[in-house]
Every structure is written in C-alpha cells, then in structure tokens.
Amino acid sequence: MIQIQYRPGCTKDGKNFKEGEVYRVEHLIYKCENDFMFPQGCYTTDGNDIKIGQKVMDYDKNSIYECFGANLKIGYNEKYCGRFHPCEDFPEEEKKKFKPQHHYRVYSEAIINP
C-alpha cells in the first residue's frame, strides 16, 4: 500500500510556501491560502501594490498601471506615455504637461488553475 503524506502549504513555480505566505513574481502577487496560491493583486515597477480591478494614473511619470482579473486570469499592464503617445485616459490638462519619453509597455499575465 502506498502512503501519501499530506503537507500543508502551496507550491508555485516549483517553490513551496507556508499558509499565509505571499509570493511576488513578474508584477503579480499571490498568497497561500487553504493550500492554493490565490491572486491578491499586482505591483508596479516601483514596488507599489495595486488591487485587482484598479487602474492608477501617475501624472508625474506619464504612466498608467493596471491590475486586472477575469475568467481565472490575473494580469498587469504598465504603460508609459509621452508627447507623441499620450495616455488616452489622462485629462486634457495633464496631456499638455507631457515630458518627451519613450513609449513602452510592461505586461504580465497568468492563468489561475485551482
């Protein structure tokens, strides 16, 4: 007879986590709860946390940070804007203040398999 030993905790990306432990990877935040790594939100390049469903506009850095979740997916989108590529969501008065910058995006996405 084969015995299987139960070890409480979670595994993600080949790493083991204890109950309540948080794992931050590729702008996504997970927490070990009830033996599963549940998505908690995202974090920006600067390390600031944002909630799932939240969009943060940083007028000083001409950027938009977004953490989204739908259909068992969590994702993060970071968009930097400039004079030639304005952030469409910014108010017109903020668009006029843009400093020239390179336009680029950072994007991460993961599928959640319970």
pLDDT of residue 79: 85
pLDDT band at 96 (very low <50, low <70, confident <90, very high): low
Enter the pTM of the model. Answer: 0.74
Which residue ranges make up each domain of the chain? Answer: 10-111
pLDDT of residue 84: 67
Q: Is 97 helix (H, G, I), strand (E, B) or coil?
A: coil
What does the pLDDT look like over 51-64, one tens digit per residue? Answer: 999 999 888 888 88
Summarize the confidence of residues 88-98 as an average pLDDT: 69
Q: Give me the torsion for CA of 36, 23, 77, 53, rounded to 10°.
A: 50
